[in-house]
Chain A
């Protein structure tokens, strides 16, 4: 178990956003986290990446406690978080956005190689390297955001609603790419999604959050087949 969350409790002021959540995700597996709005999914990711401090509980990553460590430091420990919404910097070019992800590695040659790698995964980005990021379409921005996260050579990838606002065809592409990356780079992935079906279909593990608590953890396929989950989140 490379990622181990135990009894995690996180507050927003007086409101308890995450209530004694325990999750374990094996190395190299993709865990889909689904649940209604306000269930605490985003807060969970933000706590894992260091943007938020938990009130109680612990987070173990690769055998070390990481709760409360600053985001910049966690990036150096292999955690990359693609946050919800606009995770690209519109005023910078595509290339600059990508380079940003690898600055901390301080290795120009490696950085160039990583850019080539990202471009081979997302050819559309390769065509637009010199363009400002605000000229990209929604799908391209999401690719750029994921690409930047990959530049850091992460081992744990946290994705917050990558399908938000995208056309169905694009969503399919992105989900497929995420699945391929998980396998080819041996990533551990936490995928938070409103698009529950799409997420569960590519996932190994499924976690359902409601009002800050875990209501179900199972193999993804088991959750898809579960009638309660189907009724609540999958629409049938």
Chain B
């Protein structure tokens, strides 16, 4: 019972980071109908920048702020310079299915190589803003640490901020309209291209937070965020790519599920466990857990 509770709490903490990543992926998917695999690359670069600031100033939060800013700029940049070019050379023929996905993969590889060239491949670490030692309750120490708690709180705050932006502001309304029905939004006078770029910027900033939070308890390397991408994607799929609430829920479920596997079965199976969860969900509920019978379009 005790172990289950601890597993649950840690799963919540891990899952909340995945939630950020999956949210960013869903945001971009809804506005451009592209799954941006380069999101991991953007998050990685933003995190390296955050790492530089954090290690020089010894202030984690400053690094986080810079990571957010860098992520937002990157996100906007990728949409403006890369995606628009991509869609201008709109494709036909056998590669039409393939092109946008591969292009974002290429971008991921490109960013990763640039990061490697600049910073090298050795593991770096960021000093965590809170202790990683478990809380002591009475005589026992549980694996759940202040850092875990901080992560949950931070993500929760960000989710609230995003929810407010999306549901209560004109910007949010424009974002949603542009994502649901770009042509109608255009005819209503919304500058859809600009709005989309803002959406990408927000997604990029969110990705930067995810990267920094993951790195606060792990090492940073040009490959360290691959897992975040995969799990973020799986979480998004579980929630149904169309739903932002779903992606958060999916991420939490995934986080808890993976932690269960980790604690009760074994470490290396975590990765394949994620894959299995994905397959199971896709077979059982292909539209994600939040689907209301809306068709899953590719």
Contact B184 A83 (CB under 8 A): yes
* Binding-face segment, B21-29, B107-115, B188-196: B188-196
Question: Is the C-beta of B181 less than 8 angstroms from some C-beta in chain A?
Answer: yes
Taking the nearest CB of chain A, how far is it from the CB of B293, in angstroms?
A: 12
Bound-state Cα–Cα, A80 to B189, Å: 9
CB-CB nearest in chain B for A100: B188
Q: Which of B170, B173, B188, B190 has the most CB of A within 10 A?
A: B188
Contact B180 A75 (CB under 8 A): no
Q: Point out the residues of chain A lying under 8 angstroms from B181, CB to CB.
A: 89
Partner of A96, one of B173, B184, B190, B191: B173
Chain A interface category by residue count:
20 to 34
Bound-state Cα–Cα, A82 to B183, Å: 11
Question: Is the C-beta of A76 less than 8 angstroms from some C-beta in chain B?
Answer: yes
Q: What does the 1/0 interface line of A88-105 toward B look like (CB < 8 Å)?
A: 111110001001110110
Contact B187 A71 (CB under 8 A): yes
Which residues of chain A from 21 to 70 have any CB-CB distance to chain B below 8 Å in the complex? 49, 51, 70
Bound-state Cα–Cα, A148 to B186, Å: 13
Taking the nearest CB of chain B, how far is it from the CB of A66, in angstroms?
A: 15
Bound-state Cα–Cα, A187 to B108, Å: 52
Question: Is the C-beta of A179 less than 8 angstroms from some C-beta in chain B?
Answer: no
Bound-state Cα–Cα, A83 to B173, Å: 20
Question: Is the C-beta of B69 less than 8 angstroms from some C-beta in chain A?
Answer: no
Contact A72 B186 (CB under 8 A): yes
Q: Point out the residues of chain A lying under 8 angstroms from B185, CB to CB.
A: 89, 100
Partner of A100, one of B183, B190, B191: B190
Contact B187 A103 (CB under 8 A): no
Taking the nearest CB of chain B, how far is it from the CB of A53, in angstroms?
A: 14
Q: Point out the residues of chain A lying under 8 angstroms from B170, CB to CB.
A: 99, 103
Partner of A103, one of B180, B183, B184, B189: B189
Which residues of chain A from 86 to 141 have any CB-CB distance to chain B below 8 Å in the complex? 87-92, 96, 99-101, 103-104
Interface of B is mostly: helix
Taking the nearest CB of chain B, how far is it from the CB of A129, in angstroms?
A: 14
Partner of A83, one of B174, B187, B191: B187
CB-CB nearest in chain A for B194: A72
Bound-state Cα–Cα, A72 to B180, Å: 17
Contact B189 A75 (CB under 8 A): yes
Taking the nearest CB of chain B, how far is it from the CB of A111, in angstroms?
A: 9
Bound-state Cα–Cα, A148 to B173, Å: 14
Q: What does the 1/0 interface line of B164-188 toward A look like (CB < 8 Å)?
A: 0000001001101100110111111
Bound-state Cα–Cα, A140 to B191, Å: 27
Contact A51 B184 (CB under 8 A): no
Q: Point out the residues of chain A lying under 8 angstroms from B187, CB to CB.
A: 49, 51, 71, 75, 80-83, 87
Bound-state Cα–Cα, A101 to B174, Å: 10
Q: What does the 1/0 interface line of B22-48 toward A look like (CB < 8 Å)?
A: 000000000000000000000000000
Question: Is the C-beta of A191 less than 8 angstroms from some C-beta in chain B?
Answer: no
CB-CB nearest in chain A for B174: A103
Partner of B176, one of A49, A88, A92: A92
Partner of A99, one of B173, B183, B191: B173
Q: Which of B185, B189, B190 has the most CB of A within 10 A?
A: B189
Bound-state Cα–Cα, A92 to B189, Å: 17
Chosen A-B contacts, 6 in total, with CB atoms closer than 8 Å, are: A71-B187, A72-B191, A81-B187, A92-B180, A100-B190, A152-B188
Closest 9 CB pairs of A and B: A75-B189, A104-B189, A71-B186, A100-B188, A89-B181, A81-B187, A72-B191, A101-B188, A103-B170
